């Protein structure tokens, strides 16, 4: 049996017309001799009637002061996908007469841990889907959901949701469990592109083939094409992934090679990504010897508050990090006015962190501390915040083997009159922290500089 998993996102099931376009892809696969297994997301985008966020707001609106239990929230959130599986199963049947069966995550044998809202798949029992296929049904599986193995209430496992990238994750996992020939992810774009076409327009090119690592890097750095969790499962289980558009005859992008299987001398300039809504913070510490203690305490507080840091770095008298801007108020409330006592080399100092060194509040805090601790040296630790930042990255297969990437990046950004606040490089990317107002120009500048519009990203090169 040649099994193929086909995943359709929310927009593909949002209207009757789009539903039939998606269903045609399934019917065609069946007619070509494949045994298709379909995975679907909740219909529509953010704000639509059955989209996940709309469902959540139904419960939260009952009384915003009373939190909804995560277990109940998961029950509610799985409704959108359940609507989609019934509609998709119906559309396929109406279009072709083929037998279909709609399956929730639990009915499809997807078992997760009990981490409501962000569950991890621990096991897939392929039996229900395989039995359906053997009886010539087309199974239509609800994405984003599973069920726990532990029976607690009513003899059933608890319904869970998989968190971010949920339906892509379901597709990759089901494909792996069934040892499918391929996993097709249908999305709003023609495939994995060299940049966001909403930014660079028709200069963006579809990449015919990329490695799992490149597409994972792109997704982590802001490209919204396929979720890295799906890529990770597909890579670990060696399942080829295709990224395609439902209403297009173009072949899309295939992801089937591992970068780690290629010689290190091979490289490729793959694409440019962008990630807005970032804030950059620098903590200035007057005495270099005191920096490690302050740094440790601040990272501890941020970690406890659930704040993830990016672009971490330190110099003689400062350390710096970036955060998602949504966390800025939380970080401000943690750090502004925070006092950290430091004892190094028989010196004791009390550092007073401030995001507004000239404010009345800061001066007043300092005055009060001086009264309470007259013998202690009170030292300002200004926290410099740049609120509106963005991360613009060039994804390069085997970055570290290729000389001159930073020089080309700086040339491009200098020519575009763009300042760079910080840089960071990883195994397959180099990222720049820029002001958000410069983000679009930075994407254009890098895309042009690395000649991605000329098809450079489409082939591997050798050093």
Partner 1 sequence: MRRSERVTTIVEPRQEEFERKRGVTGIAVEEGLIHVEVQVPPDLRERLKIFKALAEAGISLFLIKFHPDSIHFLIRREVLNKAQKVLQGLNRPTKVTRDCVLISVLSSAMRDLPGVMARIAEALYEQGVELLETGDSHDSVMILVKRSDAEKVVNSLRQKFGL
The residue range among 4-12, 178-186, 202-210, 225-233 that interacts with partner 1, by the rule CB under 8 A, is 225-233
- As measured in angstroms, the least distance from the Cβ of 62 to partner 1 is 29
Q: How far is the CB of 53 from partner 1 (least distance, A)?
A: 19
Site size toward partner 1 (CB under 8 A) is: 66
Shortest gap between Cβ of 115 and partner 1 (angstroms)?
9
Nearest to partner 1 of 326, 364 (CB atom)? 326
142 or 413: CB nearest partner 1: 413
String of contacts with partner 1 for each residue 170-209, x by CB under 8 A: ---x--xx--------------------------------
Rounded Cα gap, residues 429 and 20, in angstroms? 39
Q: Is 228 in the site for partner 1 (CB under 8 A)?
A: yes
Long-range pairs, 313-320, Cβ under 8 A, ≥24: 313/422, 316/288, 317/284, 317/285, 317/286, 317/287, 317/288, 317/291, 318/282, 318/283, 318/284, 318/285, 318/291, 319/282, 319/283, 319/285, 319/291, 319/294, 319/295, 320/280, 320/281, 320/282, 320/283, 320/422
Positive or negative torsion for Cα 438, 393, 192, 21: negative
In the complex with partner 1, the residue whose CB is nearer, 16 or 316, is 316
Distance of CA 61 to the CA centre of its chain: 27
User: Cα separation of 106 and 89, whole Å?
Assistant: 17
Interaction with partner 1 in 258-317: which residues (CB under 8 A)? 260, 264, 292-293, 295-296, 299-300, 302-315
Which residue in the set 83, 356, 426, 435 belongs to the binding site for partner 1 (CB under 8 A)? 426
Closer residue to partner 1, CB minimum distance, 306 or 374 = 306
Cβ proximity to partner 1, 194 vs 422, nearer residue = 422
The answer to the question of residue 379 lying near partner 1 (CB under 8 A) is: no
Interaction with partner 1 in 89-128: which residues (CB under 8 A)? Answer: 120-124
Q: Which of 188, 425, 448, 458 is in the footprint of partner 1 by CB under 8 A?
A: 425
Minimum CB distance to partner 1, residue 300 (Å): 4
77 contacts partner 1 (rule: CB under 8 A): no
Give the number of other Cβ atoms within 10 Å of residue 135's Cβ: 9
Specify burial of residue 336 (Cβ count, 10 A radius: 0-12, 13-18, 19+).
middle
Please state, in angstroms and rounded to a whole number, the distance separating the CA atoms of residues 361 and 367: 10
Complex with partner 1: residue 74 or 295, whichever CB lies closer = 295
Q: Minimum Å distance from CB 368 to partner 1?
A: 29
- Footprint (CB under 8 A) of partner 1, residues 394-413: 399-404, 406-408, 410-411, 413
The torsion angles phi and psi of 223, rounded to 5 degrees, stand at -70, 130
The piece of 44-52, 136-144, 418-426, 444-452 that touches partner 1 (CB under 8 A) is: 418-426
Residues forming the site for partner 1 (CB under 8 A): 120-124, 169, 173, 176-177, 216-217, 220-221, 228-229, 232-233, 236, 260, 264, 292-293, 295-296, 299-300, 302-315, 318, 321, 399-404, 406-408, 410-411, 413-414, 419-427, 429-430
């Amino acid at each position: 049996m040649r099994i193929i998993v086909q995943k359709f996102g929310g927009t593909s099931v949002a209207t009757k017309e789009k539903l039939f376009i998606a269903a045609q892809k399934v019917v065609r696969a069946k007619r070509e001799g494949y045994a298709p297994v379909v995975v679907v997301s909740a219909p529509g985008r953010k704000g639509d009637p059955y989209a996940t966020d709309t469902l959540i707001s139904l419960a939260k609106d009952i009384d915003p002061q009373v939190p909804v239990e995560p277990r109940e929230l998961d029950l509610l959130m799985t409704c959108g996908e359940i609507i989609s599986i019934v509609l998709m199963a119906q559309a396929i049947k109406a279009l072709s007469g083929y037998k279909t069966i709609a399956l929730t995550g639990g009915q499809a044998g997807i078992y997760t841990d009990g981490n409501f809202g962000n569950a991890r798949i621990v096991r897939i029992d392929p039996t229900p889907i395989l039995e359906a296929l053997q009886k010539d049904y087309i199974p239509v599986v609800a994405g984003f959901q599973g069920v726990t193995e532990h029976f607690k209430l009513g003899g059933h496992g608890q319904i869970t949701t998989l968190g971010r990238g949920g339906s892509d994750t379901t597709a990759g996992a089901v494909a792996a469990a069934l040892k499918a020939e391929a996993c097709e992810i249908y999305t709003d774009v023609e495939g994995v592109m060299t940049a966001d076409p909403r930014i660079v327009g028709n200069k963006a090119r579809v990449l015919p083939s990329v490695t799992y690592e490149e597409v994972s890097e792109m997704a982590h750095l802001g490209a919204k094409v396929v979720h890295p969790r799906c890529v990770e499962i597909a890579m670990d289980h060696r399942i080829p992934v295709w990224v395609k558009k439902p209403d297009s005859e173009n072949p899309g992008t295939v992801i089937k090679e591992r970068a780690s299987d290629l010689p290190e001398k091979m490289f490729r300039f793959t694409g440019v990504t962008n990630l807005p809504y970032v804030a950059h913070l620098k903590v200035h510490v007057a005495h270099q010897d005191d920096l490690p203690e302050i740094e440790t305490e601040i990272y501890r507080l941020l970690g406890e508050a659930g704040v993830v840091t990016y672009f971490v770095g330190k110099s003689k008298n400062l350390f710096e990090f970036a955060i998602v801007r949504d966390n800025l108020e939380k970080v401000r409330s943690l750090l502004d006015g925070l006092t950290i006592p430091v004892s190094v080399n028989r010196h004791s100092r009390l550092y007073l962190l401030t995001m507004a060194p000239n404010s009345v509040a800061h001066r007043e805090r300092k005055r009060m501390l001086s009264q309470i601790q007259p013998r202690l040296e009170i030292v300002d630790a200004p926290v410099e915040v740049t609120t509106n930042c963005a991360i613009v990255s060039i994804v390069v297969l085997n970055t570290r083997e290729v000389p001159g990437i930073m020089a080309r990046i700086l040339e491009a950004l200098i020519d575009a009159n763009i300042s760079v606040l910080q840089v960071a490089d990883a195994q397959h990317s180099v990222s720049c922290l820029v002001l958000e107002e410069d983000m679009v120009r930075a994407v254009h500048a890098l895309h042009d500089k690395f000649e991605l519009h000329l098809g450079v990203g489409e082939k591997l090169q050798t050093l």
